[in-house]
Amino acid sequence: MLSPRLIVTAHAPLAAFAAMGVLWGTFAAVLPDLKAQLQVDEARLGLLLLPTPLAAVSAMLVAPLLGVALGRVALPVATLAMGFAFILPGQVHLAVLFPLAMMCAGAATGLTDVLMNARVATLENERGLHLMNLCHAAYSFGYAGGALATGMMRDAALAPGVVMGAAGLGAALIALLAYERDGTIHGLARPPKGQGRGLGLVPLIGGGIVLIAFLTENAAENWSALHIEKTLGGSPAEGAMGPAALALTMGFARIAGQGLVARLNAGRLLRLGAVVSAAGALGAAFATSPTMAYAGFIVMGIGSSVIAPTAFSLVGRMAAPEARARAVARATLYGYFGYFFGPPMLGFLAGLFGLRAAFVFAAAMLMMVLVLTPLLMRRG
C-alpha cells in the first residue's frame, strides 16, 4: 500500500502536491483574518476571489507549452513560483488590490497543478504503479499542516501578512525537492497535424467528475473555518481545525486508497465516494456545534478522498499512450474550474442564504458523480 519505492519514485510530484497543500491550507485557515483585514462581508469576499480562477485557467492553457519549454525543471520552477505568489495576498490591505494578488496565486497554482498531475500520470503508466492517491494524500497532509500551523499563529495574534509569508517561504523550500534528474513530462506537446489520435470525450467526462470533487472539496476547505467560527460560534483555533480535520482525513483515506484502487472496481469506488461525501456535507450543514461539524467534515473527507485521484488515473489509463499527458492536462483544466469557482460560488450562496445552505448545495453537486461515472466507464 505504501513503500519507500513509491515515495522515491514519486518524490518530485509529491513535493509539489505537499507545497500546494501547505499554501491553500494556510489560506483557508487565515481567511477570516483576511476578510477582516479587507473589511468585507462573505458575498464581497466571494466576488474578490472570482478573478482567481480566470488567472488559473489562463495558466493551465499555456502549461503544456511551458512544460515543453522548461523541460525537466518545469515542475520545480512552477512550484517555486507558486510559493512566492502566495506571499502577496497577506500583504494587501485594500480590497481593490486583493484580486490582483490572488490572480498571481491562482496562475501559479494552475500551472503547477497541470504539470504535477501530468507527471504522476506519466510515472504511473511508465512504471506500472498506482501513485495518484499517494500524491493527492501529500496535498491533504500539507493542507492539514498549513491549517494547523495557521491556527496556532492566529491564536498568537500574528498578522495575515506574517502567516502568508511564512507559508510562502516554506512552500518555496519544499519546491527544491520537486527537482529530479529525468523530470521531463513526455506527451505534453501537441502532435503534428494529421498525426496521432484526438483526446475524445474521456478528459471531458473525467474532468467533470474532478470538477465536482474539487468544487465541493475546496469550497468546504475554504469556508469550513468561517462556518465553525461564524455559524457555530467557535474560536479561531476551533475554526482552523475544520479544514485540518477534513484534510487529515483525506490524507489517511488516500493512503488507504492506494490499496483499494487495485482491488475495487473504479466506477464503484467513485460512486461510493460521492455518496459518503454528500452525507458528510449534509452533516456539516446541519451541525449545531463545532464537534458535530468536525464529524461531518471527517465523513466528507473519507468520501471525497478517492474521487479526484481515481478519475485522474482513469483518464490517464484510458487515453491513447502518446496523448496521456495531454489528456490528464485537459482533465485538470476542466476539473480545476471547480477548484477555483467552488469557493466564490459558495461565498455567494453563503451571503444570500447562509453557510448551511452552501454545504447543502455541495452535497447536491456530489450526486452528479453518480450520473457521470457510468458515462466515463462506457467511454473507457
Let me know whether 105 and 169 are in one domain.
Answer: yes
CATH code assigned at 47: 1.20.1250.20
Let me know whether 227 and 345 are in one domain.
Answer: yes
Last residue of one domain, picked from the residues 136, 163, 186: 186
Let me know whether 149 and 255 are in one domain.
Answer: no
CB-CB neighbours of 65 under 10 Å: 12
Check if the beta carbon of residue 326 is closer than 8 Å to that of residue 205: no
**Mean pLDDT within 201-223:** 82
Check if the beta carbon of residue 232 is closer than 8 Å to that of residue 272: no
User: Is position 157 within any domain?
Assistant: yes
Per-residue model confidence as pLDDT tens digits over 53-70? 889 888 988 888 888 888
Let me know whether 145 and 256 are in one domain.
Answer: no
**Domain encompassing residue 219:** 198-379
Least confident of 58-67, 87-96, 167-176: 58-67
Q: What is the CA radius of gyration of the chain?
A: 19
**Mean pLDDT within 68-93:** 94
Secondary structure E strands in the chain:
none
Per-residue model confidence as pLDDT tens digits over 6-47? 888 889 999 999 999 999 989 988 888 999 999 988 778 878
Rounded-to-integer distance, Cα 218 and Cα 366, Å:
13
Let me know whether 296 and 212 are in one domain.
Answer: yes
Please count the structural domains in the chain. 2
State pTM to two decimals. 0.78
Last residue of one domain, picked from the residues 123, 152, 186: 186
